[in-house]
Amino acid sequence: MLPKHISIIAPTYNEVKNVIPFAERVKTALADHDWELLFVDDNSADGTAQKAFDYGKIEPRVRPIIRFTDRGLAKSSIQGLLSARGDLLCVMDADGQHDPAVVIEMVERLEREGLDIVSAARRLEDDQALEGLSPLRRKLSQIGNAFSSFVIGRKLSDPLTGFFLIRRDRFLKLAPELGDPGFKLLLDILYTDKTLRHGEVFFDFGTRLHGTSKLDSHVLWKFATFLMSKMTRGILPANLISFLFVGGSGVFVHFAVLYAALGLSASFATAQTVATLVAATSNFLLNNLLTFHDRRLRGPRLVSGYLKFLAVSAVGIVANVSAATLAYENLIHVVFIATLAGIAIDTVWKFVIANRFIWK
């Protein structure tokens, strides 16, 4: 009854033990249909892609797509969506939390109502149906949902779900406009194309078969800055927002160190130099962890990146200290204002260089 070809796109990162159980479930659920299953793997160290490749020998409808750079769930999903050959494309988790049997329901709903996209919503009010989520994650999901519905201007039961089905032709049209929403691709799709006819089905969010979740605080941070960026209509990119937040935290660090040093009767210029250096270090580390997480520097590259950061921002540091000192000595005899003037000059300079030279 459904002649359409269905592609399942399952992003994976260290899911070796889940590959076969998941593929088997897909095979059973879609037995009456024409389908393929793509595991889009970010070069997992545990051999996930090899497992999918081996399985493909006995079941050629299954194959891996291997990625080496620019890790990420949304980015992997997009790549899978672009590489699939189905008319209907379904993105879902490969860890057993999304039941492939629901896909059929989504397809039927989409066909019956002539929709472009159908998402599978977790029942967020129903505690029993959410056994796969910790109480904290549950609360975060509820808050995130409300906020997200506001940003995309549609009321959805679960805009943050990672489980959705979309028509290939509609996806190809909107794909060039997509950003990098971290885990929340559905949200970006609905935001990008407001003309999509959308529907929801409900499902029980299961527990993981094996392994652990990859949703960490960085993913949440990325999502928060992504939402804020959308709220500025994209005028401020998510990266810049993150950079400014880190900069803001640096201002606190700066003042704390400055007053501490002045308290220890350091001269204004010395206190200013120390404060600037400490704040620069804290900014560097936080930007490495949050703003440029995907291009994060580690080990020796972290050290050389830090030295580069200090070297390149030496101009900013000198400008900062001298502007502050000058202001302090000649114009405004106020530590606070003089320091702010210095930080302002420094921030502009650092923003220009960070993206270009350090996390390139």
Give the footprint of Mn ion on this chain (CB under 5 A). Answer: 93, 95, 97
Report the partner that residue 346 touches, choosing among Mn ion, ligand GDD, none (CB closer than 5 to 8 A by kind).
none
Closer residue to Mn ion in complex, CB, 219/340? 219
Q: Does 221 bind ligand GDD (CB under 6 A)?
A: no
Closer residue to ligand GDD in complex, CB, 72/342? 72
As given in the structure block, the two tokens for residue 284 are: 């560097």
Q: Does 141 bind ligand GDD (CB under 6 A)?
A: yes
Closer residue to ligand GDD in complex, CB, 72/250? 72
Closer residue to ligand GDD in complex, CB, 94/238? 94
Within 10 A of 306 (CB to CB), how many other CB atoms are there? Answer: 17
Closer residue to ligand GDD in complex, CB, 113/125? 125
Q: Does 200 bind ligand GDD (CB under 6 A)?
A: no
CB–CB of 98/120 below 8 Å?
A: yes
Q: Which stretch binds ligand GDD (CB under 6 A): 56-64, 70-78, 266-274, 286-294?
A: 70-78
Q: Does 203 bind ligand GDD (CB under 6 A)?
A: no
Q: Largest Cα–Cα distance of the chain, in whole Å?
A: 83
CB–CB of 120/163 below 8 Å?
A: yes
**Amino acid (one-letter) located at 46:** D
Q: Is the dihedral of CA 190, 191, 192, 193 positive or negative?
A: positive
Q: Pick the binder of ligand GDD from 38, 51, 76, 145 (CB under 6 A).
A: 76
Could you give the 3-state DSSP secondary structure of residue 17? helix
Over its C-alpha atoms, the chain yields an Rg (Å, rounded) of 25
Burial zone of 69 (CB within 10 Å; 0-12 exposed, 13-18 middle, 19+ buried): exposed
Closer residue to ligand GDD in complex, CB, 229/272? 229
Burial zone of 339 (CB within 10 Å; 0-12 exposed, 13-18 middle, 19+ buried): buried
Closer residue to ligand GDD in complex, CB, 144/305? 144
Report the partner that residue 72 touches, choosing among ligand GDD, Mn ion, none (CB closer than 5 to 8 A by kind).
ligand GDD
Q: Pick the binder of ligand GDD from 97, 273, 325, 347 (CB under 6 A).
A: 97
- Please provide residue 295's backbone torsions phi and psi, each rounded to the nearest 5 degrees: -110, 25
As given in the structure block, the two tokens for residue 51 are: 């497992």
Q: Does 215 bind ligand GDD (CB under 6 A)?
A: yes
Q: Does 193 bind ligand GDD (CB under 6 A)?
A: no
40-59: contacts with ligand GDD (CB under 6 A): 40-42
Closer residue to Mn ion in complex, CB, 36/93? 93
Q: Does 218 bind ligand GDD (CB under 6 A)?
A: no
CB of 175 to ligand GDD, least distance (A): 17
Within 10 A of 356 (CB to CB), how many other CB atoms are there? Answer: 10
- Please provide residue 212's backbone torsions phi and psi, each rounded to the nearest 5 degrees: -130, 165
Task: List, in sequence order, every residue forming a beta bridge with 5; answer none if it has no partner.
Answer: 34
Q: Does 12 bind ligand GDD (CB under 6 A)?
A: yes
d(CA 14, CA 45): 7
Closest to 39 in 3D by CA, of 7, 63, 72: 63
Q: Does 287 bind ligand GDD (CB under 6 A)?
A: no
List contacts with ligand GDD (CB under 6 A).
Answer: 11-13, 15, 40-42, 71-73, 76, 93-95, 97, 141, 160-162, 183-184, 213-215
